């Protein structure tokens, strides 16, 4: 009898607990299950989006490989599709960077800047890709006459491409008629390359030319 009463008390306690907490618990379980299913569906959707974006980028690459026979209009349409429909994918940033490169080839620096700024707003500025976008943007700004803005970019956040950033600074200083600052930047870039075992290449020619121009001895450099 005592066992039966104890069972009854447990049943009543369970009923009271259910009245007080059951609905919220059921809701939590439902949300957890729905969340799991939703997450799986989202993952499936994300994979599908990435695949579609990858296909679009592959189509752009194929078109680019056609050389002079490539269709700039077709590339533009594919790139715009990536930017508009798949803006969250890395392929959209690639597409914007490609549009910028094509714009530079046509001498349209304003369009190139717009594409690079779009790419930058969709990318972590501290990532390697973000720093590459900034490097290209700096060169576009410098070519467009905004030297101050270009140097502001190149004087910060170049940890992923220190040699390229220093070289770009050197090119800007040289174009602006500041040979000593250009030389300093080129020497910095060369040091970075040598430190990682990469050949300086054309940097040596630039440095030798400037040293000769400035009358700097090899020992002093």
Segment 4-63, tens digit of pLDDT: 434 454 545 544 544 554 444 445 544 444 444 444 444 554 667 778 888 888 888 998
What's the first-to-final CA gap in the chain, in angstroms? 101
Segment 89-113, tens digit of pLDDT: 999 999 999 999 999 999 999 999 9
Segment 108-138, tens digit of pLDDT: 999 999 999 999 999 999 999 999 999 999 9
Give the model's pLDDT for residue 66. Answer: 84
Residue 8 CA, distance from chain mean position: 65
> What's the whole-model pTM score?
0.75
Band of residue 198 on the pLDDT scale cut at 50, 70, 90 = very high
Mapped onto helix, strand or coil, the DSSP state of residue 82 is helix
Mapped onto helix, strand or coil, the DSSP state of residue 94 is helix
């Amino acid at each position: 009898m005592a066992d039966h009463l104890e069972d009854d008390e447990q049943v009543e306690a369970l009923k009271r607990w259910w009245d007080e907490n059951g609905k919220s618990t059921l809701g939590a379980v439902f949300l957890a299950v729905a969340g799991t299913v939703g997450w799986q569906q989202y993952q499936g959707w994300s994979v599908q989006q990435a695949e579609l974006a990858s296909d679009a980028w592959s189509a752009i690459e194929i078109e680019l490989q056609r050389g002079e026979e490539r269709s700039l209009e077709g590339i533009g349409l594919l790139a715009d599709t990536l930017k508009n429909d798949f803006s969250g994918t890395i392929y959209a940033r690639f597409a914007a960077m490609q549009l910028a490169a094509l714009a530079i080839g046509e001498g349209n620096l304003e369009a190139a800047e717009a594409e690079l700024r779009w790419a930058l707003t969709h990318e972590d500025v501290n990532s390697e890709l973000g720093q590459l976008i900034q490097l290209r943007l700096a060169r576009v700004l410098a070519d467009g006459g905004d030297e101050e803005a270009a140097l502001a970019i190149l004087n910060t956040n170049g940890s992923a491409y220190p040699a390229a950033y220093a070289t770009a600074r050197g090119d800007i200083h040289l174009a602006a008629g500041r040979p000593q600052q250009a030389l300093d930047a080129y020497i910095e870039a060369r040091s970075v390359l040598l430190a990682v075992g990469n050949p300086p290449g054309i940097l040596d020619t630039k440095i030798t030319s400037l040293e000769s121009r400035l009358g700097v001895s090899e020992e002093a450099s």
